[in-house]
Amino acid sequence: MQIYGEWHKSRGHLAGFCLLLAVLILPFSAVSANAQTGSANAQSGSDIDELIKLLDQTTRMRGSFSQLQYDSDKVLLGESSGSFVMLRPGYFSWHIQSPDRQLIIATPEYIWHHDIDLETVTRRPVKKSAAMSPLQILGGDEALLRSQFVVTQSAAGSFILTPHIAAGDTNPGFKRLSLTLENGVLMAMEIIDALNQRVLITFQDVDKSPDLSPEDFTFTPPDGVDLFYYDE
């Protein structure tokens, strides 16, 4: 077993999916400068209030997902599917089961990424960044949501979130996030990244009241895997 201080670089075919996972789960330091400005950029108004009200209706959730990734020319780069579990505040599990088996678990302290086929585990501390990633928004902090995003309601249950970008920032992480909810249930999420690549996630078989506790998100690296610690 080896322990490294750098983020693990995945093999060829998995590289795109691992990059996609990072976009979906890991906090972005790119917008953390704006987060640190506190209430200076905080948004108030009916659109963000409506989104927060809808998100607050769900404190726990379990279901399955399908995920498509397109390049800037709308060419399909890859697709995957799996299951997810969420417990607010701060707990999330994202399990890709096809085509490559990968597991990401987020807690208030750490984000774990287990590449099951490669037998590698990476760990990153959450508190290194005050920023919120797309999936963390679902279980995130209201004050950070208000300070980091401009929220526009495009239709009933549909919202567009645009992150505040610091002046001179050349790595904004992602440009736009769209959420679609029906009767308080998340149905779809779309992310446009800094390279104009698009990630579309649709959710199925969503259970809004599963029996969950923080202990369900405990992760212990399996024996024999390579460990990669990032930013610790």
Structural domains of the chain in order of their starting residue, each with its CATH number = 3-229 (2.50.20.10)
pTM of the model: 0.74
Name the more confident of 186 and 74: 74
Lowest model confidence (mean pLDDT) among 34-38, 98-102, 157-161: 34-38
Q: Residue 40, Cβ neighbours under 10 Å: how many? A: 9
Q: Read off the pLDDT band of 145 (50, 70, 90).
A: confident
Give the span between the Cα atoms of 118 and 102, in whole angstroms.
Answer: 9
What pLDDT digit, counting tens, does each position of 20-52 carry?
444 444 333 223 333 344 444 555 568 888 888
Q: How far apart are CA 119 and CA 89, in angstroms?
A: 29
Q: Could you check whether the bond before residue 27 is cis, i.e. omega within 30 degrees of 0? A: no
pLDDT at 1 over 90: no
Q: How far apart are the first and last CA of the chain?
A: 18
CA distance 110 to 128: 10
